[in-house]
Structures are given as structure tokens and as C-alpha cells.
Structure 1
Amino acid sequence: MNGKVIVITGALGALGRVVVESAVKRGARVAGIDHAPALTAATDERIELGHVDLTDAAQAKHAIDAAVAHFGKLDALVNIAGGFIFETIADGDIKSWERMHAMNVLTALNASHAAILHLLASPAGRIVNIGAMGALQAGAGMGPYAASKAGVHRLTEALAAEHKGKITVNAVLPSTIDTAANRISMPKADFSKWVTPQELAEVILFLVSDAASAVTGALIPVSGRV
């Protein structure tokens, strides 16, 4: 992975930070994009682009172009930006569905659309999306989130088909990720069964690597020990 340039959205979140650090340790140069403000100054190895609303196509393009301007190329895009809501249909708000679609589908769509031309110029362009095991069969309260992540699955498959032989496009489908926020919201759960951010990062970075050149259009479950 030495020398590869990777854009990671949602880079300042619990999973994003781990993927960024793991990629840098492998010799990649990383541009992190997030809705939150940037925390560190730009270096030769990384740059943070903060205050970016990826639900806005123009802002997504500006951020991707800024990353390419900084590093001179783009080899991979990892779409981690997203959100979660637990809400039943009867007691919930229709706007929750719109919010989940925007946060999970539009962020990945806009970043991917902005990155495609740059990735086509790479000898090994990669896109990795974050889907969800919970989108394979939605449970009670999971409707808005599951529907949006199912959209990410279909986006992944369509992009893979449209760019086969030029860009590989895959998605990882985690179960519950072991983060501080999830531990607080589910204090009685068995945390040892959850997938850790580092475990998920390993799968993501494999899909970015040259070793995964023959893998595209895959929806890969990463379910921990459930």
C-alpha cells in the first residue's frame, strides 16, 4: 500500500480514525473528509478536510478535488461517512427516512461520483463502501437505517458493474461495531461478540490493496462473533 493515495470520508469518527491510522501505518497517504472541523495540519502523509457536507454534491467534488490537488492523484475512496437511527415506522417521522438516505446513500454517491474520473486514472482504482448486516433483513425499529444501507448495497453493485475492469467497488457489511457510543446505547450487550473497528479496518484495507484486484461487486459480511 506504500504510496497509495486514499480518501476516507467520515475520517474523524470512531471507525474512520482507525482506518486512517491503519492506512498511514501501511505507507498510504490519506485525505480525511468529515463534517466536523479538521483537527490537524496537513502533512506529506495526510490532510484533513473539515466542515464538508457530503450530502451536497458540489461540496463533495470540492473536497475530492482538494485531496487530489494536495497529493497529485487518487487511488482509493473509502466511504465511511453515515449515520444511524432506531425508530419504528408507527412512532417515527418520515423525515428520518430522508435523513438516513441523505447521510448513508447520498454521501457515498456524491463522493463516488466526484472521485470516479480520478480513480479511472489510477492503475488500481478502488471504492469501498460501508453497508450493514442489518440491511439484509430489517428488524423492528431498523426500517430507516436498513433501507438506506440497502441503497448503499445496490449503489455498490451498480458502480462495480459500470466500472468492471477499471475500478473495483465493494462493500463491507458489519454487524454492531464495538465503539464507545454503541456500548453506552447497549450497556447490557456482550461486547466481546461485536466486530472491532480494527478488525473492520483490516477488511477495508485488504479491499483497497493490490491483493484484492480480482474482487469487485462483493458485499462482504464482517459479523464479529455473533
Structure 2
Amino acid sequence: MAGRVIAITGAFGVLGQAVAKAAAAQGDRLALIDYAPDAPAGLPGGPDVMVQGGVDLTDPVHAGAAMDAVVERFGGIDALLNIAGGFKWETVQDGSIESWPQMYRLNVLTATNASRSAIPHLKRSAAGRIVNVGSSAALKAALGMGSYAASKAGVHALTQALAEELKGDGVTVNAVLPSILDTAINRADMPNADFSTWVQPSDLAAVMLFLASEAATAVTGALVPVTGRV
């Protein structure tokens, strides 16, 4: 599997960094794409890594330019990992109605624009892959999860629709459905939780990279729970 070209959106976040490090360790060539203008310290580097900050994936023009840049640098794209997204906790009654289109843009539209731009290139790969990040919260939304869960349900539907659309082209499309990731922000927000039950970013990265690999050719349209012991 070494040498595959993997484009990772949301690459500057906690999960994006974990996926990037794991992919670099197995010899992949990486395009690290994020809305933030500046990359954090500790990302993989070298000639097999390109970094694109300041990319607004809610804009189809930005998304297209980002994927074109990957192809110009590496000659193609083998896998797209759609990690870019957002989260907001608020009740339906007391929250802002603007949260609903905002969550849609950040979670559904970013994945849609990135996928649409990457698909022509993925079709030319011997094993094209798209891996999205859904959420277990979209299967049963908890208090305060209305707009977020609804948007992630949209990611699940996008995944299944694209899997049907591309199954004749050798491109698989799957999604992982994590529960709570063990991050510093989540620990600060839920200080009394049992952190040992949460999902490690590195464990979620391993599942995503399997789905992005040539070995996962028989898996498409799957919504894979990665929930730890939550």
C-alpha cells in the first residue's frame, strides 16, 4: 500500500493529525488540507507531503483548486479522507436557527465539495477510496445534538448515495461513526467522564486508513461504528 496518494481534509485538527501521522508511517504521500491558514507543529513533512492551509471547502471553487493542486504535485489521488467539519452543542428551543445551515455547510457541504472535486481523479486510481466521518450521535441524537446530529445524518446519506453512484467505477465510499474522541477539549468539557471508554484518535485513524486501503475493496456504503466502550 506504500506510496498511495491520500488527501486529508481537516488535517490540522486532532483527528486529522492522527491520520496524517499514521498514513506517513505506512509510506503514503499526503495532501494535508485545512481551513486554518497555518499548520500546527508536528505534522509530517518532507517531499511526500504537501500542506494547503486557508482552503474553504464550503466553496466548490476552493475545493476544486485544492484537489487540482494535489494532482499537479503527485500525479493523482488514490484516497480522500473527509475529516473537515464542525460541532455545536445547543438545544433546539434555545439555540440559534443559524446553527442548522452552519452545521450543514461544515459537515455535509465540505465533504460533498471535496468528493465532487476528487471523483474524476479517484476514478483513475486502481483503488479509489472516499472515507467520511459521520457520528454515532446521528443514529440516536442526545440532548443538545439536534443540528449536529442532523448534519451528520446527511453525511451518512451522502456516503451511501456516493457508494451506489461509484460502485461501477472501482471507487468505494464508506464512513466511520465515532462516539466521543479522547481529546483535550472533550476532557475539559466533560471533566467527570470516564476517559478510558472514549475513542483514541489513533484507533479511529487505523480504521479510516484500512477503509482507504486496497485491502478494503469489498467494503462500500458501510457506516462503521467506532465507539470504544461508550
Alignment map for 1:147-186 (pairs within 5 Å): 147-165=150-168, 166-186=170-190
Quote how far apart the aligned CAs of 1:44 are.
2.0
| Paired residues of 2:199 and 2:226 also in contact (CA < 8 A) | yes
Deviation at 1:41, TM superposition (A): 9.9
Q: CA deviation at 1:140?
A: 1.7
Q: Shift in Å at residue 189 of structure 1?
A: 0.7
1:145 counterpart (126, 145, 148): 148
With over 3 angstroms needed to count, the CA separation of the structure-2 counterparts of 1:196 and 1:63, relative to structure 1, is same
Task: Map residues 3-22 of structure 1 onto 2, 5 A cutoff.
Answer: 3-22=3-22
Shift of 1:42: 6.8
AA at the equivalent of 1:31: A
Deviations 1:48-86 (A, max 9, x none): 100001001100000111011111111000000001001
Q: Which position in structure 1 is the counterpart of 2:55?
A: 52
Aligned to 2:73: 70
Q: CA RMSD in A?
A: 1.2
- 1:38 to partner: Cα distance: 3.8
SS of corresponding position for 1:163: helix
TM-score (norm 1): 0.98
Letter in 1 for 2:88: I
Aligned residue in 2 for 1:23: 23
How many equivalent residue pairs?
226
Distance 1:218 1:182 in 2: 27
| Within-5 A mapping of 1:1-226 | 1-39=1-39, 43-165=46-168, 166-226=170-230
Q: Would the aligned equivalents of 2:19 and 2:205 in 1 still touch at CA under 8 Å?
A: yes
Write out the 4+ residue segments of structure 1 that deviate beyond 4 Å after TM superposition: none
Task: State the alpha-carbon separation in 2 of the partners of residues 9 and 90 from structure 1.
Answer: 32
Task: Give the structure-2-normalised TM-score.
Answer: 0.96
Structure 2 residues not aligned, in runs of 5+: none
In the alignment, residue 33 of structure 1 is paired with which amino acid? I
The 1-side partners of 2:148 and 2:27 are apart by 34
2: CA distance, partners of 1:38 / 1:118:
27
- Decide whether the 8 Å contact of 1:130 with 1:171 is kept in 2: yes
Aligned residues with identical type, % of pairs? 60
Mapped to 2, the partners of 1:68 and 1:130 lie a distance apart of 23
Q: Distance in 2 between matches of 1:175 and 1:98?
A: 23
Q: Deviations over 1:151-201 (max 9, x none)?
A: 000000000000003200000000000011111111111100000000000
Q: What SS class does the counterpart of residue 94 from structure 1 fall into?
A: coil
1:137: how far off?
1.2
Q: Using the alignment, how far apart are the partners of 2:57 and 2:97 within structure 1? A: 21
Q: Which amino acid aligns with 2:216?
A: A
